[in-house]
Amino acid sequence: MNDITCPKCGGLTQGLIDGFCKDCFFKTSHLIEAPLVLYAKVCSTCGAQLTKGKWNNEYTIAEIVTRTTEDALLIHEKADDIEICVEPKQMSPHLYRVKVEASATILEEPVQQSIETEVRITRIACDMCSRMSGNYFEAILQIRAASRHPTVEEKTKCMQIINNTLEKMQKKGDRTAFITSSAEERDGIDLYMGSANATRIICKEIVSELGGGFAESSSLFGRKDGKDVYRMTFSLRLPEFMPGDIIEFKDKVVEIKKFSKSVTGTDLIKSGRFISSPDDMKGFALIAKRSTAKKAVVVSMEKDEMMLLDPDNFETVTVKIPVPFSASEGDEVPVIKSSIGLVALPDETSRKSDL
């Protein structure tokens, strides 16, 4: 094989690498390169980072600096077995000095190199925070309850479901999954939501867990880019009855255990399990709650009946013993009054176990 003259040093070599002899190649080639100054855009409110045109808030500032540096590195195309160590050092809240050490093999020769750069943090408002500060919303979520006002516990539970769902959607990249503002109304809560799709998912989650139903409607808000823009209203209705409610219709007195897509409870007259659907509950009316039941003294017990002292007039009344029931003569037991008379409630442990 004829020797070739290196155009840089003039020496003879058996082959050229990128136009140079091997010695000149390693003298002039760099394992890694990076700009002297890099910029990272970070939201001044939530800390999200703009990466490749998309905002995310999965990383700390130090991680953002490291990722910004790694993304900007140029690595020699002939390098193999590459190992890179990035060491950021904070100089100020907006400036990091970064040392990068790299080792690899090029043409089976071990190569090491160390460079330095700096990453400057630019604080701006991300798309989500800009929308929130501008009161942007796509939907209104109205949380109400059928024929009553939502309880404090129900409103708290709804907000837990909402916040958990929004957090999950944000982690998946939905930058409009947020609450712009809220208003406490006399009969419920109104929430102004950044995403109609997120609001629809939230409604399904609440109905699945607490029962009830929801309806949605739209209204024309304006036009953008030649297209009509609509705002959605989601009317969420929590169920009329809650666990612990005691309801009555005709010859049935039922203590509710769960009221959602199906209704379960205890038939207090037959001491049996009650199962129905919300559509079949028309006509039932709330007559009491377990939490407000009065106490009656057990006078005597015989087989499946017992005698109680009516808590209102202290007259002796015979009632059916509910199942399960662990009280004895002389004990006080919870009772409610229905159209068919005094009704004793079963042990509360059975109700809790079915919830």
Could you read off the pLDDT of 135-183 as tens digits, one per residue? 899 999 999 998 889 999 999 999 999 999 999 998 888 889 999 999 9
What is residue 4's predicted lDDT score, i.e. its pLDDT? 81
Confidence category of residue 223, pLDDT binned at 50, 70, 90: low
Which residue would you say has higher pLDDT here, 164 or 51?
164
Using CA atoms, how far apart are residues 17 and 25, in angstroms rounded to an integer? 7
Q: Which pLDDT band holds residue 351 (cuts at 50, 70, 90)?
A: very low
* Dist CA 221 CA 74 (whole Å): 49
| Whether residue 63 has pLDDT greater than 70 | yes
Q: Is 150:238 a contact under the CB 8 Å cutoff? A: yes
CA angle at 77 for the pair 74 and 81, rounded to the nearest 5°: 95
Q: How confident is the model at residue 230 (pLDDT cuts 50, 70, 90)?
A: confident
- Encode pLDDT of 282-324 as tens digits: 889 999 999 999 999 999 999 899 999 999 999 999 999 999 9
Instruction: Provide the residue count of the chain.
Output: 355
Identify the CA nearest to 46 among candidates 59, 63, 65.
Answer: 59
> Does the pLDDT value for residue 224 go beyond 80?
no
**Residue closest to 98 by CA, chosen among 84, 87, 114, 83:** 87
Q: What's the pLDDT score for residue 333?
A: 96
23 pLDDT higher than 90: no
Indicate whether this model's pTM tops 0.75: no
Residue 113 near residue 32, CB atoms below 8 Å: yes
Percent of residues, the chain, with pLDDT higher than 90: 56
pLDDT computed for residue 287 by the predictor: 94
pLDDT score recorded for residue 222 = 66
pLDDT (average), residues 94-121:
90
The pLDDT of residue 278:
84
- What is the share, in percent, of the chain residues with pLDDT greater than 70? 94
Task: Identify the band that residue 27 occupies on the pLDDT scale cut at 50, 70 and 90.
Answer: confident
Other residues' Cβ atoms within 10 Å of the Cβ of residue 69: 25
Cβ 317 vs Cβ 310: under 8 Å: yes
Q: Report the mean per-residue pLDDT for the chain.
A: 88
Q: How confident is the model at residue 40 (pLDDT cuts 50, 70, 90)?
A: very high
Pairing mode, strands 305-309 and 316-320: antiparallel
Using a 10 angstrom Cβ sphere, with 0-12 exposed, 13-18 middle and 19 or more buried, the burial of residue 168 is middle
pLDDT (0 to 100) of residue 1? 55
- Which carries the bigger pLDDT value, residue 212 or residue 57? 212
Average pLDDT estimate for 52-77? 88
User: What pLDDT does residue 354 have?
Assistant: 45
Q: Is the pLDDT of residue 101 over 80?
A: yes
Q: What is the mean pLDDT of residues 247-275?
A: 90
pLDDT of residue 192: 96
Answer positive or negative: Cα dihedral of 199, 204, 206, 207.
Answer: positive
Residue 324 preceded by cis peptide, ω within 30:
yes
Residue 57 and residue 44 in contact, taking contact as beta carbons nearer than 8 Å? no
Q: CA 182, CA 84: separation in Å to the nearest integer?
A: 48
37: closest CA among 116, 153, 106, 113? 116
pLDDT at 90 over 90: yes
